[in-house]
Homo-oligomer: A and B are copies of this chain.
Amino acid sequence: MKIDIHKVALKAGVSIATVSRALNGGELVKPKTKEKILKIVEELNYIPNPIARSLSKQSTETIGVVLPDLVGEFFMDFIHSIDEEAYKNNWHVLISSSHSQRNIIETLIELMGSGRVDGVILMAPQMQNEVSEIIQKSKTPVILVNTCGEFSKIDQIKVDNYKGAYEVVEHFIKVHNYKRIGIINGPKGNCDAEERFSGYLSALKKYKIAKDSSLIINGNFDVESGVIGFTTLMNQEIRPEAIFAANDMMAVGAYEAAKELGFKIPNDVAIAGFDDIYLSQFLLPRLTTIHVPITELGIKAVKFLLNRITKKKRNSEAHFEVLPIELVIGGSCGCRYS
């Protein structure tokens, strides 16, 4: 038998309003009454219906998370950190991903318009400008994660792709004295990829190494394009001494191709990646890469979003934050590593 607030009220000999107050507000109810009610709630295992509550309060106490995809531990870690942080604040989390049949914009619009969530965390490295307009028009607070550009009224938090790439390349140059440094890029239009590429270029410039377009290969963040990228680079007359793969998955592809083609890492060519995925520590030699603080990203995203929602800071300055990354040295860059 479904037990509702009326049953509790009946058994306690009070009105439903009092039950509601006892459960929420707090001190507007006589302690004795409250105690009695809570006891009965306990006995009956009464759980207030959150749907009804949401409808009445016009707030759901849940945040939506819109992701480009639902694959890999990277997103899992992100979700996990969001979930934990939300739970600490007694909020719920609704995950939405762009399905095969549906793109991110639709997902976002439906989520914001539906009243199903009070705010959303949007991770969209390939965000079109259209999206920012939609968000600015909406009354639902949104925080952008790993998006490019800066928007006047939207909170934003991201990882320091530029610096990460810069540090990798600088490490190649300063520590190992490599001059011919190739890069396997991420996909066009992907903001993470573009920032990483820009970090690569800056480092070269800083150390007065001329940009050589034969060393710049396009990839799209998957293993396969790492294989192709590596193969292309190493099949040239003059080979690179080092290759920066713009993410670890492509670095994995590079390892595969190296094995296939008989190149030794780092003796024949050094490799570095970006992301510090779990797998990267098991590659032989361990991959030199950039650690991305994904957990911190999730936690902070929740914090700022909740701030925006509950503190009614709807009009305050947009928050913009870039999280620092960290160079993780493995053996693939030429450093000795055990």
Contact = CB atoms under 8 A, between A and B. Distances in A.
Contact of A116 (B51, B76, B95): B51
A73 B76 contact: yes
Interface of A: 2, 45, 47, 49-52, 54-55, 60, 70-73, 75-77, 79-80, 83-84, 87, 92-95, 97, 99-102, 110, 113-116, 139, 252, 255, 278-279, 282-284
B83 A50 contact: no
Nearest to A99: B87
Contacts of A93: 95
Query: Within the oligomer, what is the number of copies of this chain?
Result: 2
What are the 3 A-B residue pairs with the smallest beta carbon separation, nearest first? A70-B80, A47-B113, A76-B76
A60 to B, nearest CB: 7
A73 B72 contact: yes
A71 B139 CA distance: 33
B50 A114 contact: yes
Contact of A79 (B70, B94, B252): B70
Contact of A51 (B102, B115, B278): B115
11 contacts: A47-B113, A49-B55, A51-B51, A51-B55, A71-B76, A80-B97, A83-B99, A92-B94, A93-B95, A94-B94, A278-B279
